Structure 1
């Protein structure tokens, strides 16, 4: 049974960006993750060990967001994808990184990068 696990709005403070002040002051990053995987075993056993534990996944993602700074949210999204695909049960992962305080001198609703990767 193919299914999806979604984790939306995960927010953590990171020090990513191309400008010195972004790295010094930091800012909030908001991450949405969508995992596609077979959920039949978890549905049958009712055991969290048979699925992706979204609480543990959130901890690993926050460690990346708050960890080593990168210049681009594209790079951050790629690192987060790697975390998602570390679980062999995940067939496809999609990660969106939102940068709500991006240094843009105009009103804007959102800046985001989305990456998607599947196992071959």
Structure 2
């Protein structure tokens, strides 16, 4: 399986369960690994034969900034991103990591990694 990746995708989001976290946007890092449905693009050199990473980034950013309801958990961010990548872009498998920074004293980063779908 060919895997397209987006690493260190930074967004400022209103996220968190505590009231103080929800007052101002905070930096969040997304790391995505996206399984491609086939490996044609290497031979054709045509973006139509792969998943357009620019379109993925634009769609994910738009959704997270304009979510229909507030998102409080990193787990929810990961689930929404995985669903977008699989349902809208046709990826058979995706791995999504969501990281928040310096929220808990003594912890530099915290977050979640999920995998959805199946690797062939």
Displacement after TM superposition at 1:25 (Å):
0.9
- Paired residue for 1:82? 83
Displacement after TM superposition at 1:21 (Å):
2.0
- Paired residue for 1:107? 106
Which consecutive unaligned segments of at least 5 residues does structure 1 have? none
Displacement after TM superposition at 1:119 (Å):
5.0
- Paired residue for 2:94? 93
Residue correspondence of structure 1 range 36-51 to structure 2 within 5 A: 36-51=35-50
**Alignment: residue pair count:** 116
TM-score, normalised to structure 1's length? 0.87
SS at match of 2:71: coil
- Paired residue for 2:19? 20
Residues 64 and 101 (structure 1), Cα distance of their counterparts in 2 relative to 1, 3 Å cut = farther
SS at match of 1:55: helix
Instruction: Indicate conservation of the 8 Å contact 2:102/2:108, yes or no.
Output: no
Which consecutive unaligned segments of at least 5 residues does structure 2 have? none
Displacement after TM superposition at 1:37 (Å):
1.9
